[in-house]
Chain A
Amino acid sequence: MENVDTSTHREKILSVTDITRQIKGVLELGFPNILVQGEISNFKLHTSGHLYFTLKDEGSQISAVMWRSRANQLLFKPTDGMKIIARGNISVYEPRGSYQLDCIQIQPVGVGELQQAYERLKQKLFDEGLFDDEHKKPLPEFPMRIGIITSPTGAAIRDIISVLSRRMPAVEVTLVPVKVQGIGAAEEIAEAINDLNDLKSVDVIIIGRGGGSLEDLWAFNEEIVARAVFRSRIPVVSAVGHEIDYSISDFVADLRAPTPSAAAELVVKHKNELIELIRNFCYTMSSSMENSINSHRQTIETLVHSYSFNRPQDLLRQRSQGVDELTRRLEQSVTHYVQLTRQNLQSLSMRIESLNPRLVLKRGYTIVRQNGVAVSSVMHLQENKEADIEFSDGQSKVTIDHKIVFNDGKKRK
């Protein structure tokens, strides 16, 4: 038998494997990271931990799989009939030539399921202590650089800008634009928190969005956001716009604000308040300074008038008084001495006067000298020699004839 077809058409023949590989390439590259919404049916949890199910809607159906590593992170239990949005890729299973949705993430759509997931995550994080007060960081008192993580087109950013412009236009705002709802929003919010922490360029972070349904706000109830808020070293204010219900991020955040506007008001003080504060500081400083100067002045004045301060002068006065006293005493003693000396002199001169031999001569005594020497004893008188006799009023020269010595040796007249 001739293989007519081949020769006639000259077309390339593919093996089943070849075509399957080509389909695989087209499908897997053609539908990366897609979101598919549908209802779960034929749900099967395999003993290996992988999840197998069919996702269907009114018109069609697609096989789906979620591998164990990802299935373990689900906070709700998928069941038949549950509406979900799945994120994933199309993959082709070559041995069977079938394609399936390889789910990376599954998010329930129905409120009941969301509520269930919310309660579970809340309980889990609560048990782990992520909501504990001891982990709450205090907000900076005077933040000047505000990081805001929200949608660039939402009401939240407009409200925050409006409040900040009114209250404290001196601050600098860094907006990190993110998706705030839908699949992937949570990842973006978490990444933005991490980025701001890496950059360290803000003093406080506000995350939030305007109000919406539980589904709209879902990103703020996801674990990845909660963990990022918890890890943030920069204080985080959660402002998810619903006054009554709390989102998971509200519980983890350092501060919860009911709306984005309220967050802005909580974060910054009104500039007038700060101006007033600084003016008060200035006033306090001035009056303290004035008080201090006055009190020092008073101290100085007290010192000037104090006994101790005046003591040197006192001492000086005392000393000078002492000097005066001494001088006076000196003068006194000098006078006294002079007087005394004078008296002594007088008495001396009187005594000297009384001893003056001339006075004796006046009374009739004479002095006999021989050879110029006064002779006080007749024994010393040399006979037949000249002698001089001195009277009180003159003298004469005599010659000694003879001399008589008194026997008893006593002088006689």
Chain B
Amino acid sequence: MAKKENKNSFESSLKRLETIVASLEQGEVSLEDSLKMFEEGIQLSKECLHTLSRAELKVKQLTKDLNGKFQLTDFEEQ
């Protein structure tokens, strides 16, 4: 069965990071809030950089069996 993962966490992290950077840059946040956002932003950037550091491309193959059930297997180039 194909794993259902409806969220792209990397993209949402990066978007959140973008928002934080913009808010901090505008400087309209209270010092306390901006410190919190700063911490969150640094954490997000660490996570994103960690994701990006993955070196090997994962390729899966999606097939359907006769009953219409999905199967996800590792794809090997032929």
Q: What are the residues of chain B within 8 A of A143 when measuring CB–CB?
A: 8, 11
Q: Which residue on B lies nearest to A176, using beta carbons? A: B62
B45 to chain A, nearest CB (A): 5
A144 CB-CB contact with B under 8 Å = yes
Which residue from A161, A171, A282, A291 sits with its C-beta under 8 Å from B45? A282
Cβ proximity bits B41-78 to A, threshold 8 Å, 1 near / 0 not = 11001001101111111111111100000101001011
A80 CB-CB contact with B under 8 Å = no
A172 CB-CB contact with B under 8 Å = yes
A262 to chain B, nearest CB (A): 18
Which chain A residues (193-215) contact chain B, with CB distance < 8 Å?
Answer: 195-196, 199-201, 203
Q: What are the residues of chain B within 8 A of A295 when measuring CB–CB?
A: 27
A171 to B5, CA, bound (A): 14
Q: What are the residues of chain A within 8 A of B3 when measuring CB–CB?
A: 201
Most buried by B among A169, A199, A285: A285
Which residue from A165, A200, A203, A292 sits with its C-beta under 8 Å from B11? A203
Q: Which residue on B lies nearest to A271, using beta carbons? A: B52
Q: What are the residues of chain A within 8 A of B48 when measuring CB–CB?
A: 274, 278
Q: What are the residues of chain B within 8 A of A142 when measuring CB–CB?
A: 8, 10-11, 14-15
Instruction: Evaluate contact between A173 and B60: CB separation under 8 angstroms.
Output: yes
Most buried by A among B14, B58, B59, B63: B59
Which chain B residues (1-24) contact chain A, with CB distance < 8 Å?
Answer: 2-6, 8-11, 14-15, 17-18, 20-21, 24
A296 CB-CB contact with B under 8 Å = yes
Instruction: Evaluate contact between A289 and B8: CB separation under 8 angstroms.
Output: no
Q: What are the residues of chain A within 8 A of B70 when measuring CB–CB?
A: 195, 199
A292-B61 in contact given A143-B8, A281-B41 (Cβ < 8 Å) = no
Q: How many A-B residue pairs lie within 8 Å, measured between CB atoms?
A: 127
A153 CB-CB contact with B under 8 Å = yes
Instruction: Evaluate contact between A175 and B45: CB separation under 8 angstroms.
Output: no
Cβ proximity bits A163-183 to B, threshold 8 Å, 1 near / 0 not = 011000111111111000000
A134 CB-CB contact with B under 8 Å = no
A274 to B44, CA, bound (A): 13
A174 to B4, CA, bound (A): 13
Instruction: Evaluate contact between B75 and A199: CB separation under 8 angstroms.
Output: no
Question: How many of chain B's residues touch chain A, expressed as a range?
Answer: 35 or more
Q: What are the residues of chain A within 8 A of B52 when measuring CB–CB?
A: 170, 271, 274-275, 278
Cβ proximity bits A131-144 to B, threshold 8 Å, 1 near / 0 not = 00000000011111
A228 to B34, CA, bound (A): 46
A284 CB-CB contact with B under 8 Å = yes
B16 to chain A, nearest CB (A): 11
A275 to B14, CA, bound (A): 11
A171 to B49, CA, bound (A): 13
Q: What are the residues of chain B within 8 A of A140 when measuring CB–CB?
A: 8, 11
A289-B38 in contact given A144-B11, A275-B49, A281-B45 (Cβ < 8 Å) = yes
B71 to chain A, nearest CB (A): 11
A288 to B56, CA, bound (A): 35
Instruction: Evaluate contact between A292 and B64: CB separation under 8 angstroms.
Output: no
Which chain A residues (257-300) contact chain B, with CB distance < 8 Å?
Answer: 271, 274-275, 278, 281-282, 284-286, 288-289, 291-293, 295-296
Sampled A-B contacts (25; CB under 8 Å): A142-B10, A142-B11, A143-B8, A144-B8, A161-B77, A165-B57, A169-B54, A170-B10, A173-B75, A174-B60, A175-B61, A176-B61, A195-B64, A199-B2, A200-B6, A201-B2, A201-B6, A274-B48, A274-B52, A278-B17, A281-B18, A282-B45, A285-B24, A289-B35, A289-B38
The 8 closest A-B pairs by CB, nearest first: A288-B24, A170-B54, A142-B11, A173-B59, A165-B57, A169-B57, A144-B10, A172-B58
Given contacts A144-B10, A288-B27, A289-B38, 18 further A-B contacts (CB under 8 A): A140-B8, A145-B5, A152-B78, A165-B57, A169-B54, A172-B60, A174-B62, A175-B75, A199-B2, A199-B62, A281-B17, A281-B18, A285-B20, A285-B38, A285-B42, A289-B34, A292-B31, A296-B31
B residues near A (Cβ < 8 Å) are: 2-6, 8-11, 14-15, 17-18, 20-21, 24-25, 27, 31, 34-35, 38, 41-42, 45, 48-49, 51-64, 70, 72, 75, 77-78
